[in-house]
Amino acid sequence: MNCKQMIFIRNDLKMGKGKIAAQAAHASIASFLENDDEKNSEWINQGMKKIVLKINENDVKNIVSECKKNKINFAVIHDAGKTQVEAGTLTAIGVGPEEEKKLEKPFQKYKLL
């Protein structure tokens, strides 16, 4: 089983590079902690492959819906509001780690950040 993790970042928020990196890290860790131990172990042993994709506010519902429909683990990140965005703003979504084949179809339309 080849696993990867997908990190979706809201690029419509115009966050700085450091903020984006922090939100991506939050999303990666949060979805990992909520995930199946077997998939996590496989993912770690395979080098922790991940990709970071750009989304906007309108994409959020679709991503969450696809995760639920396909039984894919995910975590939604809301910012604390201490720096660049308002408190509670959804900044990122972490998906997986999950089998690559399971992630291809529902998320193929999203572009790399």
pLDDT digits (tens, 9 = 90+) for 11-32: 999 899 999 999 999 999 999 9
CATH of 3-112, one of 3.40.640.10, 3.30.360.10, 3.40.50.300, 3.40.1490.10: 3.40.1490.10
In eight-state DSSP terms, residue 35 is S
pTM (2 d.p.): 0.95
Tell me the pLDDT band of 94, cut-offs 50, 70 and 90. very high
- ω before 97 within 30° of 0 (cis)? yes
Closest residue by Cα to residue 52 from 17, 85, 79, 89 = 17
- Measured torsion, CA atoms of residues 13, 17, 20, 21, in degrees rounded to the nearest 10: 180
Q: Residues 93, 113: contact at Cβ < 8 Å? A: no
**Tell me, what's the pLDDT at 14?**
87
Query: How large is the average pLDDT for residues 59-72?
Result: 97
Element (H, E) at 30: helix 17-33
